[in-house]
Structure 1
């Protein structure tokens, strides 16, 4: 093995009769490097999206909700007690939810209002961390306060400390006559910035204030639930709902945001498939490189055979020749891919500043930046795959080198 490896290195460094071998060798090496770098960057981006989905979305959005199909939940404290006894449920807190309009001068925006308990929310959720300037500590009941999303604040031209009007629809029970909406003046105590579509149409009120605005007494819309295994939320919440004394409907984050997780996993699988195709095409350039190298080195092969080299040794020499090409390309690709993935968010931010707009639209995507997270397991899989394909691609030219007849080659010179 040492002799075949040393000879392969000498063959690569030796002077070639044709510059075509060098050109094709460089092209095949660069093809492998670019393919590997592109795949590492793509996989790192998918890892980044999955991280942001877990850390940004699922740390803010409740994993599930329990509610009545019609009306409000009166005995929510009893339900809350039952839920907290479930070992798979981390937290269960009440909430009030309704749709309204926020008005600032001549500008109007639809909003999904959530009534939350500020103290409990700070203990169980990462939501307070995304309120700018640490304003969550000032978010109290009975102070005419509201926290609105950054997207909504931008569209309404609202800043912290400004006063806005919240318009709440009033149901006209037993009458076909439309009633004017209830209008309430509120001060924007903070801006919720989730860097994506989640903060485009949301407003937060203290739970007590929301109950008073809707005149529902102590009742709530439902119970928000967080579980210990977020990817089994649907199953855990469903089982918990069946075990309750009351008949309640439920949903989970999978109903609202599950498509994001499924899309990420699907794209990851497509990336792995593309990895085999792209690296395979790049690695099989080694075939043409080695075929030309065998033609270029046929006199050297003939001399080696005359000196007693076996077909096994010749085959190993050219297998090493191809593997070294694959190794160089793979190492360059891994280094390039890891560096670019490490700085991917900054690089995209630089291009966004040059173009003057965001590549990911916050009105569409749940984040407005391109995240990246390097998993060295993915890097190892890509590297090993490239090396295996390089080894496979080297076999045919190496086999062909064994068929060279020394007498015929040496007589022609």
Structure 2
């Protein structure tokens, strides 16, 4: 192996004298390094989006819901809450009542979805993290208080302390509508969750919401926070099928699952596209080695006549190609390990310098570029690039072994 390494180094030094071959060799190294760098960085961005989805949206949106088919609500919900908390898959269970209606303020109307929660349980799913301290204190101390999404308050120009009305549609037994009920609430502050939810979501006290919706049991349904949010589909069906009362069941994949699916789709597309970029760069290794084999036919013939085994010649050309590949992999991976964890700060600095915004908080659920570097992504990327580099060297090395000493020396 040491002799093969020395031959690879000798062939590589001779190759550098040929500028054309040297340029192709350099381009393969740059291509492989760039592919590894971009792939690891973009996978880190996808991990960051997935983390923000879990910590930001899924901290407010319940992982699962069970809500009564009857207007009277969940019967004996306290007992059901205690029973369901025994399930190891369930972290928290909290009662809720939801109001869907029109928010009215100074003649303007805005569709809104208000969730009534018990204040002592409302910190469990993470509402508290999205509310300013003074707004939260006002909300806790006043039973008629409401917290509105930042987008709602901005759209209707509502300030803390303003009184708003919520118009609740009323349906009769014959499925016709009559005059809506009206509930007056005091705005305690705003919720800053991010994205579209800020334009329709709000929070109020459970007792007030249940009274407004005529829910006699005190809670329209139960909201779940699960130990594994990504098991919500199966877990909620297991719970729903064994629930003692006729009820609807839902989970976050029905309402916000498109975000997670989009992230996974982009991850797959990025992996495929950039793996192909690395593969294309590896084709340059093939070109470099094929030209090197043709240029070194005489040297190969001399080695064979001196008794060099085929394995030695094959290993020499494989190592020669792997030097380019490994150099690119190392440089690209090290660059990604430096840039990926600091990409959020780098993008923020660029935004500040150029006065632009990469992500708009009014459209996306975050207004910054998140990153989270996973060691598994680095290992898989390096392994895939390394395997592609090895495969790229096999054909030229095989052609080198097939070289006939007599014809090579005579040519």
Is the structural similarity TM-score above 0.5?
A: yes
Name the counterpart of 1:146.
Answer: 146
Distance change in 2, residues 1:287/1:107 (3 Å): same
Cα distance in structure 2, aligned partners of 1:33 and 1:298: 30
3-state SS of paired residue (2:170): coil
How far 1:388 moved relative to its partner?
Answer: 1.2
Name the counterpart of 2:93.
Answer: 92
Deviation larger for 303-312 or 48-57: 303-312
Name the counterpart of 1:126.
Answer: 126
Deviation larger for 334-343 or 312-321: 334-343
Alignment of 1:133-172 (within 5 A): 133=133, 135-140=135-140, 142-159=142-159, 161-171=160-170
Name the counterpart of 2:10.
Answer: 10
Determine whether 1:311 maps to 2:322.
Answer: no
Alignment of 1:323-338 (within 5 A): 323-338=322-337
Distance change in 2, residues 1:411/1:153 (3 Å): same
Once the two structures are superposed, residues 314-367 of structure 1 have per-residue CA deviations (whole angstroms, 9 ceiling, x without a partner) of: 221111000111001111111222333222223333444466554444454433
Cα distance in structure 1, aligned partners of 2:169 and 2:386: 68
Alignment of 1:232-271 (within 5 A): 232-271=231-270
Name the counterpart of 1:40.
Answer: 40
Determine whether 1:110 maps to 2:111.
Answer: yes
3-state SS of paired residue (1:371): coil
Once the two structures are superposed, residues 189-248 of structure 1 have per-residue CA deviations (whole angstroms, 9 ceiling, x without a partner) of: 232222322322111112123234445455322111223332222322222233333222
Name the counterpart of 2:102.
Answer: 101
User: 1:72, 1:222 within 8 Å by CA — same for their partners in 2?
Assistant: no
Cα distance in structure 1, aligned partners of 2:356 and 2:190: 22
Distance change in 2, residues 1:347/1:166 (3 Å): farther
User: 1:103, 1:164 within 8 Å by CA — same for their partners in 2?
Assistant: no
Name the counterpart of 1:59.
Answer: 59
How far 1:290 moved relative to its partner?
Answer: 1.0
Distance change in 2, residues 1:134/1:294 (3 Å): farther
Name the counterpart of 1:204.
Answer: 203
Alignment of 1:230-379 (within 5 A): 230-305=229-304, 307-353=306-352, 356=355, 358-379=357-378
Deviation larger for 381-390 or 233-242: 233-242
Name the counterpart of 1:77.
Answer: 78
Cα distance in structure 1, aligned partners of 2:180 and 2:65: 31
User: 1:40, 1:337 within 8 Å by CA — same for their partners in 2?
Assistant: yes
Deviation larger for 397-406 or 298-307: 298-307
User: 2:170, 2:180 within 8 Å by CA — same for their partners in 1?
Assistant: no
Cα distance in structure 1, aligned partners of 2:235 and 2:406: 77
How far 1:393 moved relative to its partner?
Answer: 0.8
Cα distance in structure 2, aligned partners of 1:269 and 1:108: 42
Distance change in 2, residues 1:354/1:112 (3 Å): farther
Deviation larger for 258-267 or 203-212: 258-267
Cα distance in structure 2, aligned partners of 1:128 and 1:190: 12
Distance change in 2, residues 1:263/1:177 (3 Å): closer
User: 1:18, 1:296 within 8 Å by CA — same for their partners in 2?
Assistant: no
Cα distance in structure 1, aligned partners of 2:86 and 2:379: 44
Structure 2, unaligned runs of 5 or more: none
Corresponding residue pairs, total:
409
Cα distance in structure 2, aligned partners of 1:91 and 1:177: 37
Distance change in 2, residues 1:70/1:20 (3 Å): same
Name the counterpart of 2:49.
Answer: 49
Deviation larger for 141-150 or 212-221: 212-221
Deviation larger for 26-35 or 62-71: 62-71
Once the two structures are superposed, residues 88-132 of structure 1 have per-residue CA deviations (whole angstroms, 9 ceiling, x without a partner) of: 33222111111233345465432111111111122x222211213
Cα distance in structure 2, aligned partners of 1:83 and 1:311: 69
Give the alignment's TM-score, normalised by structure 1: 0.88
User: 1:102, 1:164 within 8 Å by CA — same for their partners in 2?
Assistant: no
User: 1:150, 1:191 within 8 Å by CA — same for their partners in 2?
Assistant: yes
Cα distance in structure 2, aligned partners of 1:84 and 1:102: 35
User: 1:64, 1:252 within 8 Å by CA — same for their partners in 2?
Assistant: yes
